[in-house]
Structure 1
Amino acid sequence: MGQDVWSRFVSGGGELMLVSAVGTVIGVAAGTLLGIVAGIARNLVSRTVGYLIDFLLVFPALVLMLLLLARAGDAPIVIIGLIALSSLAAVARVMWSATREIASRDFILATRAYRYGWWRVIVGEVLPNLSSLVLVALPYQFAMATGGVATLNFLGYGASSNAPGWGVMILQNKDGLGVQPWGVILPALTIALVCVGVNLMADGMRRVLARTSEGGGQ
């Protein structure tokens, strides 16, 4: 009570965006590397990673986060790790499927015939062909992470009751929605706009990169 809504709103978005961005970058990077390695391996490693990814994708992300938070605590570093784990599974599945398709192409078979090392094949041949997928995955996973962190804050995890986070603002002001709605509407609307806007940006990037790829192949 008596706290300025605008000041809390402006200062509350910083930590939310930072946690979401760091978790997303770590998750996308780790998921890309894991998916590529598993896609190239095509042996027990590939199957094991595939089963692990499928388990993480089938298990509800929010439920998994809540279970882990109950054991590990809700420090910001833990939230970042959970966001990274969630992004890792989704990105690794996409990269795994794309890498398996690329691994059957002639230029990859040629590198194997010349006995190039795995790291050289990954960095020099596979990763450049997956760069468009990585660029699209980053904003999409960031939007998912933003919604996830805000949800956890609303449920009371990852931010103290005095923190000016957007999820905390919604939690604290929901009972006074009929009296002073801006304490709820402003952060909720901003979270929705961020998620929708970033998703639209990711879709636009995907279309542009697809056109560029088609043009380069002609």
Structure 2
Amino acid sequence: MTGMLAFLRFLLGTRRHMALLGLAVIAVFLAAALLAPLLYSWPSATLVNLGHALARPSLAFPLGADEMGRDMIARLVWGARMSLIVAGASVGVALLLGLLIGGLCGYYDNRASFITMRAMDAIISFPRILVAIMLITILGPGATSLTLAIAISSVPVFARLFRGPILSLKSRDFVLASRSLGAGDMRLLFRHVMPNISALIIVQGSISLAEAVLIASGLSFLSLGPQPPVPEWGAMIAQSRAHLLSTPHVVLVPGIALFVLVLALNLVGDGLRDFADPKSGHAGPRVAS
């Protein structure tokens, strides 16, 4: 909470209005995702009602209805819930595994670490979405396999990113002093070294959320994500693209929502990166004394 308040003060003090706008947009999407069951029932987002198929925006359907007669607002809200859950869970898993692998390989600079990092490099050489497609082909389509596929394809990126700073920090004076006082390797790594890259973890995590939302939507567009009638923005675009010219709202609504959320995440990520930049004097890697 203190960190969030400091970040808000930084944005206000430096007049970063776009980042503040992005933060507000993310808050709206988060609120909609959390309150989805209270705002719109699950049947309103999934049950077929052909009597209202492709209904244009009106008082009854402010954003219209899709080709199955389902309320677009209801599907948009539930789709935000699905997109944020998949993106948040996949980035969280990738961060934990990447931090663990990168931390151990950076702290223990031995043959096993060398082989592990070369394996990470080999995975990075493939496009992330291709790796995710291969994993989903093995696991089968669905929200769980989509989350795991994005997470696993992201782990090498995080491992490579975190290894360098940890490799540098382990030779700092405060780590050597703690070692001389009898601190074990795990205590040094998790209590002294890793906390000093917390700013990097937060910044990279926020930026990766936008990538995860895009990858999840792209895979769902290819029918590799949650299966119908589960609302997901990428799947909504794919199912409605045949009606783009006749009733464009069925494609534009999820498309604009996806664009706005990804843009907001990137704007906030840029603000966090500036906030955490050591050169700015506002934050940066915290070095224990």
CA separation in 1, counterparts of 2:118 and 2:179? 26
TM alignment of 1:192-207, pairs within 5 A: 192-207=259-274
Deviation (angstroms), 1:15? 1.2
Structure that is richer in helix per residue: 1
Q: Counterpart of 1:45?
A: 112
Matched, 1:82 2:116: no
Higher relative contact order (CA 8 A, sep 6+): 1
TM alignment of 1:71-150, pairs within 5 A: 71-150=138-217
Matched, 1:36 2:106: no
The structure having more radius of gyration, on CA atoms, is: 2
Deviation (angstroms), 1:154? 0.4
Q: Counterpart of 2:13?
A: none
Deviation (angstroms), 1:3? 2.8
Give a deviation string over 1:60-113, Cα, whole Å, max 9, x none.
Answer: 111111112112212322111112112322111110011111122222233344
Give a deviation string over 1:6-55, Cα, whole Å, max 9, x none.
Answer: 22222222112111111111111221121111101010122122112211
CA separation in 2, counterparts of 1:75 and 1:184? 22
CA separation in 1, counterparts of 2:84 and 2:249? 21
Q: Counterpart of 2:244?
A: 177
- Provide TM-score, normalisation by structure 2: 0.70
Equivalent pair of 2:131/2:153 in contact (CA under 8 Å): no
Of 60, 70, 85, the match for 1:3: 70
Q: Counterpart of 1:20?
A: 87
**Long gaps (5+) in structure 1:** none
CA separation in 2, counterparts of 1:170 and 1:134? 32
Q: Counterpart of 2:276?
A: 209
Tell me the matched-pair count. 217
CA separation in 1, counterparts of 2:154 and 2:262? 15
Q: List structure 1 runs of 4+ shifted beyond 6 angstroms.
A: none
Q: Counterpart of 1:60?
A: 127
Deviation (angstroms), 1:185? 1.3
**Long gaps (5+) in structure 2:** 1-66
Q: Counterpart of 2:52?
A: none
Equivalent pair of 2:142/2:227 in contact (CA under 8 Å): no
CA separation in 2, counterparts of 1:112 and 1:47? 24
Equivalent pair of 1:5/1:182 in contact (CA under 8 Å): no
Q: Percent identity?
A: 27
Equivalent pair of 1:36/1:95 in contact (CA under 8 Å): yes
